[in-house]
Homo-oligomer: A and B are copies of this chain.
Amino acid sequence: MMGQIENCLGCKTLTGRINPPGGVIYEDDWWLVDHILPPIFIPGSVVLKLKRHCEHLAALNRSEASSLGPNIQSVSQVVQQVTHAEKIHVASYGEGVKHIHFLITPRTADLPASNIRLTLWLGFRRWLFKLKLSRREDPLAEVSELVNQLRFFITERND
């Protein structure tokens, strides 16, 4: 892959220097989908990332822009199918990791149905984990099974 950056987490997962749990879910010429990295608080949360290192949505080229919407639609569909989420959240901030990526998160019935409350809930969980006040283990077996299902359904869908 062209134009990868040494210290970019997006590029590291694209070049196999870091391996997201369960492996690649889907890829086309411009985008790749894999699971978020540990610590995992919401299993089935995936990342749709641009294969090229690029830091601004304004700078997407024509092919990257054209394939973005169909990928958001198909990934949302399979994530909803597999996790039974009530809503799929799609967001691109690119602040911590500047490489263009969209977080696609299943907001299941047990999670707060509000962006602000969900952000606070996630922040609180991360803070507990960081301070080692939570003894949670990453649900890697569950994630691996979800990733297998996501890969199966998205491949079947695109065939």
Could you tell me which A residues sit within 8 Å of B by CB distance? Answer: 56-58, 60, 62, 64-70, 72-73, 76-77, 80-81, 87-96, 102, 107, 113-116, 119-120, 122-123
Q: Which 3 A-B pairs give the minimum distances between C-beta atoms?
A: A68-B69, A58-B77, A57-B76
Residue among B72, B87, B92 making CB contact with A95, cutoff 8 Å = B87
SS of A interface (majority): helix
Nearest neighbor of A93 in chain B, beta-carbon distance: B115
Minimum CB–CB distance from A122 to chain B (whole Å) comes to 8
A selection of 16 A-B contacts at a CB cut-off of 8 Å is A56-B88, A57-B72, A62-B70, A64-B69, A65-B73, A69-B72, A87-B94, A91-B91, A93-B107, A95-B114, A95-B115, A116-B119, A116-B122, A116-B123, A119-B119, A120-B120
Q: B residues within 8 A CB of A57?
A: 72-73, 76-77, 88, 90
Given known A-B contacts A73-B58, A115-B95, A115-B119, A66 and B66 have beta carbons under 8 A apart = yes
